[in-house]
Amino acid sequence: MKILDRYLAGVVTKFSLGAFFILLAMVGLFDFLGRLDDLKGDFGAPEAFAYTLLTLPRWGYDLVPTAVLIGGLLGLGNLAAGSELVVLRGAGLSIARIARPVMVGGMAMMLLGVVLGEWVAPPSEAWAQQLRAEWRGGYIGLRGKSGFWARDGESFIHIRRILPEGRLEGIAVYRFREHRLEMSLRAKRGDRRGGGWVLHDVRVSRISPQGVETERWPEMVWETTLQPALIDVLAIRPEQMGFPDLLEYVGYLRSNGLEYQHYELALWRKIVKPLSSLVMLLIALPFVFGPLRSANSGLLLLAGVLIGLGFYILDQIMNNAGLVYGLPPALSALAPTLLFAAGALFFLRRA
């Protein structure tokens, strides 16, 4: 049975990986072609291609469930077309027994999605947004583990953390005149106000031959060419943040009495997303053992695309409805997956 289990899991994994890379290539191609209409300044075709490559991990993370569904339909459909599933059923194996190694293959794809979503996509997306802003904005900037650096005339700006919705933490500004430090500014945080910035808990140090003068301000307007629109480009959306960063940010919003429902929903979606890959594979089983057991690959592919599209639409409806009507974020995130899982189990029992 171990050989049989490895064989079934390998078939599902192989077809799922094939569907994954084909979908990723198609999405990357369409995204690159769309970027060609948005060329500006130093952002030319080579830069658009590099930007597309850096955003592919984020697309891959979103495509894993659909790839698992299509791979499961095609892989199991291929076994059904070769009468291998009929032989397995004739040998006394139940559908549940066949489903076990199939789900193991789905877990391999689930781990791929977790790796992409937690460790590859967040830094890759941040790098992509940083490079795009540099190419299109023409300023000197660097984003890394130590924060974000930018140049504004004779001033150098360091921002320790760029949070969603244009919130900044740990701002430091160093202004030079004739290669000599003239002023330094430090602020605990910054918020957008209108088309500019307001800094909070500010300390300004002015350096002259006579000494250093320090002033403190609870709040002050920050005049800089680093506009909020640019920060919007650099900031990573909550759906693209890693789980630890998102969890920390939800705690920050809660402790400061700020709106956190949208980010808590993104947090729950991070938890549910890997499970949706297994649910998609579970959906493939009743189709292969039921109405599509003798269908060709084209029909199986069409069924996979339609089911994946239906799941995506339901997921978007539930998420938006949850935010509008104040539903618990956990319910909004879990409802589509639970509904599809219940439907899959119902049709699987009938099969």
pLDDT at residue 112 in the model? 95
pLDDT at residue 39 in the model? 77
Summarize pLDDT for 115-174 with one digit per residue, the tens: 999 999 988 887 887 777 666 654 445 455 567 787 787 888 998 877 766 688 899 999
pLDDT at residue 140 in the model? 42
Position with higher pLDDT, 216 vs 295 = 216
Query: What are the DSSP E strand ranges found in the chain?
Result: 141-144, 147-152, 155-163, 167-177, 180-193, 196-208, 211-222
Q: What share of the chain is helix, strand, coil (3-state, %, to 5)?
A: 65, 20, 15
Q: Do residues 155 and 175 lie in contact, with contact meaning Cβ atoms separated by under 8 Å?
A: yes
Mean pLDDT score, 216-234: 78
Report the candidate in 252, 280, 255 with the shortest Cα–Cα distance to residue 113. Answer: 280
Summarize pLDDT for 180-222 with one digit per residue, the tens: 899 999 999 998 887 789 999 999 999 988 889 999 999 999 9
Domain chopping of the chain, boundaries: 2-136+255-350, 141-225
Sign of the C-alpha dihedral, residues 341, 342, 348, 351? negative
Any bridge partners for residue 167, and if so which? Answer: 163
